[in-house]
Amino acid sequence: MKKVAERESLANNDNLRAFMGKYGIGVVMVFMLVLISILQPKFLNISNFSNILTQISINSLIAYGMCLAITTGGIDLTVGAQLALVSCVTGWAMVDKGMGVLEAVVLGLCITTITGFVSGLLIAKFQMFPFVVTLSMQLVVRSLAQIVSNGKGKSMTDVAFKSIYTAKLFDVIPMPIIYLVLCVIVMYGLMHWTKLGRYIYSVGGNEKAAIASGVNVFWVKVIVYTISGFLAGCAGILFTAKTGSAQSNIGIGYETDAIAACVLGGTSFTGGESTAVGVLIGAIIIGCIYNGMNFLGINSYYQSLTKGAIIILAVLLNMAMTKKNT
């Protein structure tokens, strides 16, 4: 009986270590949110939470694309620059060429989807490191945005375009929240209910085993980075509609927000492990922390410090658990 009890105790300890290795940072962040709510009671009211969900809609779209890339064992550093590219292309199409809102938006999304496809092609075809490829493509995409805009911003005053962000369903629910809910549903279905989702986890978990089992790793990677480009484009449309301005310098640092949301949600940097719900929770936690800091009057510089610390701690915990399991 004593040996059985010891084995159960060891199993429970292993489960606890695994949980803390995967979600430990999230637990700490939740504790921080509770502390903020105690210091500032208005932080948890419905109006503020609705505001947080509206604000995180952009980062969540980016984070889901980033999650897919990380799950395959890669990373996509182009997402921030993609925001700038879709913004400038859409602004150029509407302001300079007189296109309608729908045509301009579709054109912008096509461009970012193509650039995502190119990143995936380079990674899959030539076996190049995702970090190197996407870092280089980040420069290319940002340069394309500057070329299209000629380095100048464009005012996007079209009411129909701005309503993409400002409109409310039934005059109650902000449209960005609707987009967020739809994205979560689609990504949950993709990641957990489709063959592509299973292939993505398989490639990230063990690429050689995936190849041996007949998975077309080439197309899995290409599709993943193509989806990431499309989602970043959608986020860029939302951002441009929100600000009412097409700029080539937007989206700087947004890739780190996306990475932070992923790691807080339990996405493993070693690949093969992530959940759609986890990414949403990670994005909400990041949004709540930023919002809480603003409520408490904390300087915005500390937000970047906090974000960097979150990523570092999450990576350290993930590495510790990986060593423990090997």
Q: What is the pLDDT of residues 126-153, one digit of tens each?
A: 989 999 999 999 999 999 999 999 888 8
The rounded Cα 8 to chain-centroid distance in angstroms is 38
pLDDT one-digit tens code per residue, 166-197: 898 888 889 999 999 999 999 999 999 999 99
User: What does the chain come to in residues?
Assistant: 326
Residue 265 — pLDDT band, cuts 50, 70, 90? Answer: confident
Spatial contact of 92 and 85, defined as CB atoms under 8 Å apart = no
All domains of the chain, ordered by start, with CATH?
27-314 (1.10.3470)
Cα-based distances in Å from 69 to 66, 155, 160, 246, 274: 5, 33, 33, 27, 11
Q: In the structure encoding, which two tokens stand for residue 58, read together? A: 């952009």
Element (H, E) at 174: strand 173-174
Residue 206 CB partners (closer than 8 Å, separation 6+) = 272
> Out of 64-68, 117-121, 231-235, 302-306, which region has the weakest mean confidence (pLDDT)?
302-306
Distance CA 165, CA 73 (A): 33
Token look-up 């902000």 returns 174
Amino acid at 58: I
